[in-house]
Amino acid sequence: MREASGMADPLLDRDAATAALARVSAAAGPYLDSLAARPVHDPAAAKLLAGLAGPLPEHGDGTAAAVERLLEIGTATATASSGPRFFHFVTGGTTPAALAADWTAALLDQNAFARVSSPFAHEVETVVLDWLRQLFGLGAGWGGALVGSATFANFTSLGCATQWWGERQGADTVRDGLSGLPRMPVLSGGYVHASARKALQMLGHGRDTVEVFARDDVGRADLDGIEQRLAGLGGAPAVLIANAGEVNAGDFDPVDALAGLAERYGAWLHVDGAFGLFAALSPRTEHLMRGIDRAHSIAADGHKWLNVPYESGFALIREPQRLGTAFGMPGAAYLPGPQDPGGGYGLYGPESSRRARSLPIWATLAAYGRQGHRAMVERHLDLAQHLARRVDEAPELERLADVPLCIVCFRVARPGLAEADLDRWNRAVGEALIADGRVFCGTTVYGGRVALRPAIVNWRTTPADIDLFVDVVRELAARTGPDVTSP
Ligand SMILES: *Cc1c(COP(=O)(O)O)cnc(C)c1O
C-alpha cells in the first residue's frame, strides 16, 4: 500500500493534509453517532493493537495510509470515554463546540507561550480566564493560568503558596529553593487528593508534608484539630487545603469555615475543586462552594465537568501577580520576561511552550454560555439522584453515602455476609464491569469498605444510560455473588 516512492518526506506529501483531514472528518460522524449505543470497551478488539507496533519504519507509508490505519485501530480499540456510560474516575466528554475548537487548535498549531509567539492565543486565554472567573462568581482581581490538568493546577497553586510562604519569612524560594527553611506546614482534612500530594512532592516539600486532620474514617475534616495546629504554630505561616468535591462520594470540606480559619491565622487557603467547583453553577449546590472567593488559590479541571477535551485544567489565583513571580523564567536573552509587553502565559505557569488549550474552553462557553453549562450540571445532579433511587430500590445494593453532587457511592451487599466477603464480592463486581465493557466504573475503599463510585459528568448521559448501568451491575453481582463458586 506504499504510495509513490519519495512520499516519506512530508514536504513531498504536503497536499495530503486536506484529504487526510477529510478522512478524519468522515470517520468522526459515525464514531460520534455510535457513542450512544456502543460498549465503553470492546475487549475483543484489543488484538488490533498489534497493528500499531513493529519496528520503526525506515520508509513511511505516507500520510493517507498512516492516518487510515490510526483511525481504523483507534475507533475500534479506544475506550468510549467521551461517551455517556464511562463512569470511572471523573471523566467528562467533549461538547460539539469544544471538539471542533480542539481540532482548530491543532490546525492553527499556536504556541501559547507569549504574546510574541501568538497574540491570538494570548487574547483567547485572557478572555477565557476572565470568563471562568465570572462563571464561578469570583471577584474582578482574580487571574489564573490554563494548565494540562488539575494535578498541574494544584502544582501551580501550591507553587504560588510556596513563594508566598517563603516571602513571609524573608526568603526567596524561587531563587534559592527550600534549603535552610523549616518544613512548610500543609494542613488538610482526610479528603485530600493524591494529586495535591504529588504536587507537593514535585515542589520539593515531599508528599508526606500534608498533615491530615480527619474526624472519621471517611475523611471528614476535623476543624478543631486544624485550628489547634494553627494556633500551635505561633504565627508561623501555613497552607490549608480545602477539598471541594472528593472523589469517593462528591462530599465537600466546609470551605467557608476553613476560609475563616485561614483569615484568623494568616494562612494560605488552597481549594482543590477539580470537579466540585462546578457546584457554583447551580443554585441547588452553590452553598457547597460558599467562601470560595476567600481562598487564595483554586485548582480545577476543564476535562471533567466543563466537557472539553484532554488536557485541560486551570489554576485561579487571587493575587495573580504571584504567578509571574513563582513561574517567571528570567535570564535567557531571547525570551521576554514576565512583565514585558511580549510576555504571556508561558511565564505565569509551569509550562513554557504550550498548545492553545484556551480554544475549546472559549468555544464551549461561547456556544452554550452560563445557562447551557448550568443546565448540564443540573442534569447530572438529577441523574445522580436517579441513580441513588435505583440503588436504594435494589435489595442487593447498599448506598454508602449521601449524594450531594454527581457521584453515587454504593456496594453490593447481603445481610449476614462478613465484611471481608463483601469486599471480595465488590472487587469481583468491579473487575467484571471492566471486563464486560458495556458500562465503566471503578471501585474505591470508602470508610474501610470496598465500593463502586460512578461519577456522572458527561453531557451525553441520559436516564437510560443510568438504568443500563444499574442493570449491568445487578447482573454481574448475581454472576459473581458469594454463592457462585469460581471455576
Ligand atoms: C481528578 C482530580 C484531580 C486530578 O485531576 P487530573 O486532571 O487527573 O490531574 C485532583 N483533585 C480532585 C479532587 C480530582 O477529582
Ligand 1 center from residue 422 Cα (angstroms): 28
Check if the beta carbon of residue 314 is closer than 8 Å to that of residue 358: no
Helix or strand holding residue 392 (H, E): helix 358-393
Check if the beta carbon of residue 239 is closer than 8 Å to that of residue 161: yes
pLDDT for residue 412: 98
Helix or strand holding residue 237 (H, E): none
Ligand 1 center from residue 402 Cα (angstroms): 21
Kindly give the number of the ligand 1 atom that is closest to the alpha carbon of 152: 9
pLDDT for residue 331: 72
Mapped onto helix, strand or coil, the DSSP state of residue 398 is: strand
pTM (two decimals): 0.97
Kindly give the number of the ligand 1 atom that is closest to the alpha carbon of 244: 13
Residue list, ligand 1 pocket, CB within 6 Å = 90, 149-151, 193, 195, 245, 247, 272, 274-275, 301, 313
DSSP annotation string for 319-346? STHHHHHHH--TT-TTS--TTSTT--GG
pLDDT of the chain, 487 residues: tens digit per residue: 444 455 678 998 888 999 999 999 999 999 999 999 999 999 999 999 999 999 999 999 999 999 999 999 999 999 999 999 999 999 999 999 999 999 999 999 999 999 999 999 999 999 999 999 999 999 999 999 999 999 999 999 999 999 999 999 999 999 999 999 999 999 999 999 999 999 999 999 999 999 999 999 999 999 999 999 999 999 999 999 999 999 999 999 999 999 999 999 999 999 999 999 999 999 999 999 999 999 999 999 999 999 999 999 999 999 999 999 999 987 788 888 777 877 899 999 999 999 999 999 999 999 999 999 999 999 999 999 999 999 999 999 999 999 999 999 999 999 999 999 999 999 999 999 999 999 999 999 999 999 999 999 999 999 999 999 999 999 999 999 888 755 4
Ligand 1 center from residue 274 Cα (angstroms): 5
Give the chain's length: 487
Distance of CA 251 to the CA centre of its chain: 16
Ligand 1 center from residue 456 Cα (angstroms): 15
Bridge partners for 242 per DSSP: 271
pLDDT for residue 333: 83
Nearest to 155 by CA among 207, 196, 211, 194: 196
pLDDT for residue 485: 58
Kindly give the number of the ligand 1 atom that is closest to the alpha carbon of 246: 13
Ligand 1 center from residue 151 Cα (angstroms): 6
Protein residue closest via CA to atom 2 of ligand 1: 274
Nearest to 33 by CA among 82, 70, 79: 82
pLDDT for residue 210: 98
Residues 283, 277: Cα–Cα separation, whole Å? 13
CB atoms within 10 A of CB 451: 27
Of the options 3.40.640.10, 3.40.718.10, 3.40.50.300, 3.30.1340.10, the CATH number for the domain spanning 99-367: 3.40.640.10
The CB-side HSE value for 77 (13 A sphere, CA atoms) comes to 14
Residue 245, φ and ψ in degrees, nearest 5: 100, 90
Kindly give the number of the ligand 1 atom that is closest to the alpha carbon of 245: 13
Check if the beta carbon of residue 460 is closer than 8 Å to that of residue 35: yes
Kindly give the number of the ligand 1 atom that is closest to the alpha carbon of 151: 9
Residues 443, 253: Cα–Cα separation, whole Å? 22
Residues 351, 344: Cα–Cα separation, whole Å? 11
SS (H, E, C) 10-56: HHHHCCHHHHHHHHHHHHHHHHHHHCCCCCCCCHHHHHHHHHHCCCC
Ligand 1 center from residue 79 Cα (angstroms): 19
Q: Where are the domains of the chain?
A: 99-367
Contact residues for 41 (Cβ-Cβ < 8 A; gap 6+) = 79, 80, 434, 437, 440
Q: List b or e across 330-339, with b for residues whose CB sees 16 or more CB atoms inside 10 angstroms.
A: eeeeebbebe
